[in-house]
Structure 1
Amino acid sequence: MNSKLYKKVFPFTHHFYPLHKYTKSDGNYVKEFFNALSSKKSVKTENLLYIHIPFCLHHCLFCPFHATTNRNSEDMRKYTEAIVREMDMFSRFEYIKDMTINAIYFGGGSPSLMPIDEIKKIIDSIKKCFRITSDCEWSFEGEPITLANEELMHFLKEQNISRISYGIQTFNQELRDKLEIVAPLDDVQKCLELAKKYKFDDINVDMLYYLPGQTIEDLKTDMENINRLGFTSIDYYYLSYFGFPERVFKGMEDGSFPKRPSEYDRYCMHEYVTNSMIELGYNKVTENIFSKQNEPSEFYRLCWGGGYGEYSAETIAIGCSGRGYINGYSYANTTNPYKFIDEVMNNEIPIFKVSDRLDEEENRGIVFFPRFLKISKSKIIGTRYFDFFKKLIDDGLMVESDGYYCLTTKGTFYSPSITIDLFESKQVEISDIWLKEYESNYDNKTCR
C-alpha cells in the first residue's frame, strides 16, 4: 500500500461538486441560483431526479445520513404533501421546464417505510411535473424489514420501478448486533426472493468493509453469501467512522467495543474485496460498485456528471437534505424534515446552501473520473492534469490504456486523495475548512 504521493487516504469522499458554500444569509448567492433557474436552458443535458425520504425504521450506530425514526402516519402524510408541492414549485421554473428526466431515484432514509398510497402520490406527481424518457431508470431504496413485503414489491413493479436497492452491510450476526443493524437476515433473503419473483432488472445491495473488529475471515463469509444469493450489483464501501457517537470511541478505548482495523488492514480488505468480487463474476464498474452488468446504474452515472470525464449531467433534488446540481451550481436542501415541511408549505423553495460555479465546468468531469476508474484523454484540459497523471503513473496508481487513463487497484484505494488533488483551488479551500471540522471530532483523536 506504500505510496510516494500519499501517506494516508483522505478521510472522507466528496460525492457532490462543486462544494456547497453559501447559505441564504450570505448575500445574493442563493438569489443568483434562482435567477439562473428563471432563464431558459441553453444546453441539452441528461438529467437525474432524486427524491429523499428521511424516515427510517432504526438508526444504525454508524449511519451519518439525515434520517428520522419519528415516522407516524401523519408525519408521512405531511411530508408527502410537502414534496409534492416542492416538485410543483420547481417544475414552474423555465430552466426546469426544458429538462427531460433520464433516471429517478428514491433514497433515504428508507422509502420502503412509506405507505403505498403516499408513494403513489409522489410517483403521480413526478409524472405530472416532469418530462420523463420512455426508458427512464426508476430506482427504489429500502431496508429489508419493510421491503420484504409482497404487496409493496408488486406495487413497485406495476409502477415500472426497474431497480431495487437495500442494505445488508455484513452477514456476520455478531457485527450486525454491535452496529445495531436490526433487519433479520431472513428478511434479506425474502427481499431477494420477491425481487427475483417480480423480475426487477437490477437487484442491488450495500455491503461494508473496515468495520470495527472485522477480519478477512469475516469478509470470506460475506463473499460466500454473496455468491450463494446472486445479486445483480453490489455497492461495496469502506466504513467511514465519523457517523459513530462518542460513546463508541470511548468503548474502543476501554475495550468494551471492537476497535477499527489498522490502515494496513483496510488496504488488505480493499484488495481482497476487489479480487474476490471479480472472481465471483462481477465487473468493477465504479470505484465502489460491482455489477453483473457492464456499466453502473444510470443513477450513479448521472449523479457524478455523466461518467468517464463527462460533466454536464444535472440533478434535481427533492426533499429534505436532497443534494442537486443545476446550471453549474451544486445545492443542498434544508436538512431537518419538519423545517423543510414548514418552508415548503409557506411556498419557499427549501434551499439551504449553494456553491460557486467552477472556473472551468470541465473540471467537474475530471474530479469525478476516479469514480469511474478511467477517463478519456480527450476529456483532459490543461497541462496540470497531464503533469499530475504522470506522477500517479510513476506511483503505480494509474496506467495508460487505449486512449484512457485508468486507475489501478492501488489507485482506487487512494481515490479520495486523488479526487482532492483534482479540485480547483477555491474548492480546495472549502474542503480544507470541512477537513478541520472533521479533524476536531472525537473519532479522529483516538482509537486508530
Structure 2
Amino acid sequence: MTQTGQPQPYYLGDNPSRPVPFDGVMTVSHYIMPNFATMDWHQVPREKVIENIHSLQDPGGNLNDRIMMYIHVPYCKSFCHYCNFNRFHYPKQDSERLERYTDYLIKEIDWYMRQPYVREREFTAVYVGGGSPSTLPTSAVERLSEHLSKVVPNFDSIEKSFTGEPRTLRRPGLLDVLKDHGWNRITFGIETLNEKIHRKIGRLDTREDVDAVFDRMRSLGYTADTCVDMMYDLPGQTLEGFQDELSELLTCYDPSEIDLFTTIYLPYRPLHKLIMDGRVEQPGSPWQLLAMREHLYDTLSAAGYHNTIAETWSKRPEPSQYQTAHCARQDIIGVGCAARGNVRDMVSINPEKVDDWQRNVDEQGASTETLQSIGYEGVLDRIMVMFPRYKSLEKELLADYAARIDEDAFERVRAVLDGHLAAGVIDDEGDRFTVTKLGVIWHGNLQTDYLRHTLNTKGEVLMNHLTEARQDFDNENRFDVTPETVFIKEHDAEYPRLMK
C-alpha cells in the first residue's frame, strides 16, 4: 500500500512492480477481429442459409428474450489509417445514392420486424453505426428515424444511439433532427486532442468540429448522453502526452461516456504500413501501454466514472443495452451492408458490398449470405469469450456451459479460470466471477485465453503475430519487418476482415 492508503501502482511511478500475469501482451486490444477467425463464414450451403432464414418464422427456440437492432452505414468522408471496419468513401455530390441506401435499410428493417421470432422478443435498443452515419443527408436520417418510430416497439422509451464524426455531425439541422426524434445517445470519435498525432492517423476533422458539436447540443438544450471515443498507444504518443489529453478531455467536454481503445496496429492495415515504411513513429513500449491503461483506470475512477465494460467508462453504473448485446447477453439484428447479427442460436454477416447487399434484400428480404447455427453451446461459448469485456460471469451460466459441451472443452475453460484466479486478474465473488483492476488492464489477454480453443488455423496464425513475449517488452522497435509480417501483408485476402 502507498502512504495514502491506495493500492501500490502496478505500472506507474518511479518503482512500479510491473506484474506480468501472461506470457505475452497483446499489442491489439480490439478483439472482435479474432472472433471472425473462429468460423468458416463462406462455407454455408445456400439452401441451409435459406432454411435458417425461414426458421425465424418460428417464435420459439429463444435463447435470449431481449433483442436490439444494429444498423450499419458504411460511408465515410475519408479513411482513418487505423480503421478496419467496413466502410466506403462518401459518394461526393451523390445524395441520391445515400437516400437509396436508406430505402434499403428500411426494407431490411421491415423484413425483420415481420418475423415472429423477432416480434416475440423484448426490444431494448437501436444503434446506428458505421462508417459514419452522420454522412447521410439530414433528410435520410429523418426518414429513417420516423420509420423506426413506427415499426420498433416502444421506440420512444428504448435506448437509441447514433454515431458519427464531428465534421459531419455538426452539419446544420442534423442534431436538431436527432433531438426531435429522441435519439438519447450521441457517440462520435475524437481519438486524440494532439493535432500532430491527429493528422498522422488520418483524421481530417478538427478541434473546432468537436467544439461545434458540444456547443450545438448545449444551444439546443439537447440532454442526450455524449459518448466519445479516444485512443491511446498512438504513434509517437508519450505517457505524459496521454495523461494531458485525458485531463483536457474531462475539463473541456465532460462527456457522459468515454470509450478508450488501444490503437489498432493490424499488420496489413495502413497505419502499420506507414510505421514499417518509416513515415510515422512507432508507439512506445508495452510497459508504457500498460501504464496508460492503469492511468486511465485510476483517473476515470477518481472522476466518478464507472468501468461498465472493459474499455468503456460511463457516468452511469450499468452497461448500455448496446454493450450488453455486444457482450452476447442479448440478440442483435444486423441491418445494412456488412452488419453482423446474432439472432436465436444463429450468427451472420451481411454482404460487404452495397450492390450485393441490396440485391439480397430485393430477393429474400434478409441480406445475409452466411446465416448459420452455432447451437446453444456456441452461444454459451461466446458468453465465455466476452466475459473479460463484460467483467462478470455468473456461475449459473458456467454450470449450464459445463452441462452442454464436451468434458475436454469445459476442462480447458475451467483451467483458464483457475489460472486467472491465481494470477489475480479475476475474483471469485461467490455466485459469480468478476474482473479485477489488473484484469481490466490485461483484458485483451483474458479474452484471448477463452478464445484460443475456438480459433481456426488462420486465427491462430494472426493471434500469434499480435503477441509480444515478456523478454521483448523493452524493445524500442515493436514493428520490425519479419517473415511473418511480410507474409501477412502479402496475403491480405487470406485473413478474416473485421466488420460491424
TM-score w.r.t. the length of structure 2 is 0.80
Aligned 8 A contact 1:63 1:243 in 2: no
Q: Does 1:193 align with 2:193?
A: no
Distance 1:423 1:405, change over 3 A: same
Aligned 8 A contact 2:309 2:323 in 1: no
The range that moved more, 196-205 or 220-229, is 196-205
Distance 1:387 1:61, change over 3 A: closer
Question: AA paired with 1:51?
Answer: I
Q: Does 1:103 align with 2:125?
A: yes
Select the residue among 245, 253, 257 that pairs with 1:233: 257
The range that moved more, 128-137 or 51-60, is 128-137
Aligned 8 A contact 1:16 1:304 in 2: no
Query: How many Å apart are 1:342 and its aligned residue?
Result: 3.2
Q: Does 1:432 align with 2:452?
A: no
**1-structure distance, mates of 2:365, 2:302:** 51
- Name the structure 1 match of 2:13: none
- Name the structure 2 match of 1:320: 337
Superposed, 1:320-339 pairs within 5 Å as 320-339=337-356
**2-structure distance, mates of 1:251, 1:28:** 44
Query: How many Å apart are 1:15 and its aligned residue?
Result: 7.0
Q: Secondary structure at the match of 1:135?
A: coil
Question: AA paired with 2:349?
Answer: A
- Name the structure 2 match of 1:310: none
The range that moved more, 56-65 or 387-396, is 387-396
Distance 1:434 1:112, change over 3 A: farther
Question: AA paired with 2:427?
Answer: V
Q: Does 1:58 align with 2:78?
A: yes
Distance 1:359 1:294, change over 3 A: closer
Query: How many Å apart are 1:6 and its aligned residue?
Result: 3.0
**2-structure distance, mates of 1:244, 1:208:** 20
The range that moved more, 75-84 or 156-165, is 75-84
Select the residue among 232, 236, 243 that pairs with 1:213: 236
The range that moved more, 430-439 or 335-344, is 430-439
The range that moved more, 86-95 or 60-69, is 86-95
Question: AA paired with 2:181?
Answer: Q
Aligned 8 A contact 1:344 1:350 in 2: yes
**2-structure distance, mates of 1:85, 1:328:** 24
Question: AA paired with 2:333?
Answer: I
Distance 1:118 1:359, change over 3 A: closer
Select the residue among 292, 300, 306 that pairs with 1:283: 306
Question: AA paired with 1:408?
Answer: T
**1-structure distance, mates of 2:452, 2:279:** 43
Distance 1:125 1:254, change over 3 A: closer
| Alpha-carbon RMSD | 2.9
Percent identity among equivalent residues? Answer: 22
Question: AA paired with 1:142?
Answer: G
- Name the structure 1 match of 2:385: 367
Q: Secondary structure at the match of 2:128?
A: strand
- Name the structure 1 match of 2:433: 405
Aligned 8 A contact 2:149 2:155 in 1: no
Q: Secondary structure at the match of 1:315?
A: strand
Select the residue among 276, 284, 294 that pairs with 1:271: 294
Query: How many Å apart are 1:133 and its aligned residue?
Result: 5.5
Query: How many Å apart are 1:432 and its aligned residue?
Result: 3.0
Q: Does 1:39 align with 2:58?
A: yes
Task: Provide Cα deviations, 1:341-365, integer angstroms capped at 9, x if missing partner.
Answer: 2332344532132344145243332
- Name the structure 2 match of 1:115: 137
Q: Does 1:166 align with 2:188?
A: yes
Query: How many Å apart are 1:56 and its aligned residue?
Result: 1.1
Aligned 8 A contact 1:420 1:428 in 2: no
Distance 1:314 1:393, change over 3 A: same
- Name the structure 2 match of 1:79: 101
Task: Provide Cα deviations, 1:388-407, integer angstroms capped at 9, x if missing partner.
Answer: 32211211212223543222
State how many pairs are aligned.
438
**2-structure distance, mates of 1:249, 1:52:** 26
Aligned 8 A contact 1:101 1:136 in 2: yes
Q: Secondary structure at the match of 2:157?
A: strand
- Name the structure 2 match of 1:392: 420
**1-structure distance, mates of 2:461, 2:98:** 33
Question: AA paired with 1:401?
Answer: E
Question: AA paired with 2:257?
Answer: S
Distance 1:149 1:137, change over 3 A: same
The range that moved more, 215-224 or 94-103, is 94-103
Q: Does 1:8 align with 2:25?
A: yes
- Name the structure 1 match of 2:6: none
In the alignment, structure 2 segments of 5+ residues that lack a partner are 1-17, 403-409, 467-483, 490-500
Aligned 8 A contact 1:204 1:232 in 2: yes
Q: Secondary structure at the match of 1:352?
A: coil
**2-structure distance, mates of 1:35, 1:408:** 43
Aligned 8 A contact 2:267 2:273 in 1: no
Distance 1:250 1:201, change over 3 A: closer
**1-structure distance, mates of 2:464, 2:104:** 32
Select the residue among 165, 171, 175 that pairs with 1:143: 165
